[in-house]
Structures are given as structure tokens and as C-alpha cells.
Structure 1
Amino acid sequence: MTVLREYEYEDHTADIKVIGYGNTPKRAIEALVLGISNLIYNSEKVEKKESFDYDLEGKDILDIIYKVAKTVLEDSFFNKNLAIRDIRVKNLKRVRLESRKYKWYCRFSVYGEKYDKDKHEFRKEVKAVTLHDINITKIKKTYWTVELVVDV
């Protein structure tokens, strides 16, 4: 089976909306993160030399999407100086806590190498991930879109 992970961009006032597509919510989130990374640098030039694992909790799926994108941008790229070649969402689930209350959990890994402005062809500065226009949509039985706006 072919795993669908694609992304595109839309202008959004002074920012850019990134839209990730996938045949599951996990693949759509991965595509979104790769789309954000490709705004900053050419991820095709990045080698998989290092990896980092993350576990996140959120109040809902939109909170998880925001936290994944923010973690990759701020922790992996800004703090660890890691250029991302790939991301794998290994676990994404909603867990019932008590009487109709739920929490979401996400475990994912990022793969890449230390960022080199020349090697990875710097493209654009992305300052932050925003909560503006964040959305996840099931288009067909097995087709999802995830979108959010980044501050450039």
C-alpha cells in the first residue's frame, strides 16, 4: 500500500498556511511537519544521521497537531539545531479518562542531521507555529487534511 504524505502552501495575510495530506491522520500530520520544514530549508538535502523521540499529551486532536508542529520547530530545529528529513508518528490515540472526558496522546520520532545553512539551502525564516486556522478534516474514507498557519 502506498503511504500518502503530501503538502502544499497557501498565502495567509503576512503568514503562510501549510496543508498536509495523508491517508491517515498520522500521515497528514507528518506531511504538515515536512511542509513546515521545507519552508525553511530543502529537506531533500538532509541525511538521516540522528533521531529524537517525543511523547506529547493534548486535550484534543487540534492541540496535538499544534504541539507536534511546535515541538519539531522549537525543540528539534531551534534548540537542537536539527534539520528534519523525516518524521514518523508512531502512536496517536484518544484515551477515555472519566465520564466523557478524554485526553490525546502522540508518540513520534524525527530523523535528520545538524542544520547547515549552505548544505540545506536556507529558504525562509519561520518564527513560530500559530493556532490560527488550525484544522483537521476527513475528506474521504481514507483521505485527511491537516492545516495550520506559521508566522514567517
Structure 2
Amino acid sequence: MTVLREYEYEDHTADIKIVGYGNTPKRAIEALILGMFNIIYDNEKVEKKESKQFVIEGKNILEIIYNVARICLEEVFYKDKFAVRDIRVKNLKKVRVESKKYKWVCRFEVYGEKYDKEKHGFKKEVKAVTLHDINITKIMKTYWSAEIVVDV
């Protein structure tokens, strides 16, 4: 099966809305994150030299999308100065915690190298991931879109 991951940008007042597409929710989230990083630098110039793994939880899938994007931006890029070339959502599932209560768990891994402005370039600063307009939608039987707005 071919893995589909694409992204596009939409006009949005003073921010940028990123829409990621994929043939599963996981691939749509991955495309969204790659789209976010491509606003900052040229993803194509990043090599997969190292990887970093994360496990996060959320009360729903929208919180998972927000947390993946926030961790990738704040911790991976700004704190660790790590440029992401690729991301793989390894596990995304809804887990029962009590009889009628659930939480979402996501395990993902980013691949890349230390950010180097000379090598990777710099396009535009993404200041923060916002809670505004987060969405994930099943468009067709095997086609999903995930959306998030970033403050630039």
C-alpha cells in the first residue's frame, strides 16, 4: 500500500493554517507536522542522522494533534535545536481507563539532525501552535485531513 502524506497552507488572518492529508489519521498528522517544519526551514535539506521518540496522552484526538505539534515545535526544534526531516506516528489509539472513560495515547518518532541555519535555511518563525481550529476529518473511506493553526 502506498503511504500518502501531503500538506497545504490556507490563508488565516495573522496566522497560517496547515492542512495535512493522509490515507490514515496517523499519516495526516505526520503530514501536518512536516508542513509546520517546512514553514521554518527547507525539510529537503535535512538528513536523517538521529531520532527522538515520544509518548503522549490526551483526552481526545484533537488534544493529541495539538500536543504532537507543540512538542515538535517547542521541545524538538526550539529547545533541542533539532531539524526534523521525517516523523512516524507509530501508535495512535483510544484506551479505556474506566468503564466509560477513555484517553488517547500516541507514540511517535522524529528523524533528523541538529538544526544548522546555513545548511537548512530559515524561512519564517513559527512562534506557537494554537488551540484554535484544530480538526481531523475523514474525507473519504481511506483519506483523512488534519488541521492546525500556527502563530507566525
The TM-score bracket by the shorter chain reads over 0.9
Once the two structures are superposed, the pairs formed by residues 38-117 of structure 1 within 5 Å of their partners are 38-117=38-117
Any stretches of 5+ residues in structure 1 without a counterpart? none
Alpha-carbon displacement from aligned partner over 1:90-120 (angstroms, at most 9, x marks no partner)? 0000011112210000000000011111211
Equivalent residue letter for 2:104: W
Q: Distance in 2 between matches of 1:104 and 1:12?
A: 29
Q: Distance in 2 between matches of 1:133 and 1:39?
A: 18
Any stretches of 5+ residues in structure 2 without a counterpart? none
The residue number in structure 2 matching 1:5 is 5
The yes-or-no answer on 1:133 pairing with 2:112 is no
Shift in Å at residue 46 of structure 1?
0.1
Aligned length: 152
Q: Distance in 2 between matches of 1:131 and 1:50?
A: 30
Q: Distance in 2 between matches of 1:57 and 1:98?
A: 15
Once the two structures are superposed, the pairs formed by residues 25-44 of structure 1 within 5 Å of their partners are 25-44=25-44
Equivalent residue letter for 1:52: K
Q: Distance in 2 between matches of 1:107 and 1:24?
A: 15
The residue number in structure 2 matching 1:14 is 14
The alignment yields a C-alpha RMSD, in angstroms, of 0.5
Alpha-carbon displacement from aligned partner over 1:100-149 (angstroms, at most 9, x marks no partner)? 21000000000001111121121000000001000000000100000010
The two structures have a TM-score, normalised by structure 1, of: 0.99
Q: Distance in 2 between matches of 1:75 and 1:52?
A: 11
Shift in Å at residue 11 of structure 1?
1.3
The residue number in structure 2 matching 1:120 is 120
Equivalent residue letter for 1:29: I
Q: Distance in 1 between matches of 2:4 and 2:151?
A: 26
The residue number in structure 2 matching 1:24 is 24
Partner-residue secondary structure (3-state), 1:118: helix
- Tell me which stretches of 4 or more aligned residues in structure 1 moved more than 4 Å: none
Q: Distance in 1 between matches of 2:43 and 2:77?
A: 12
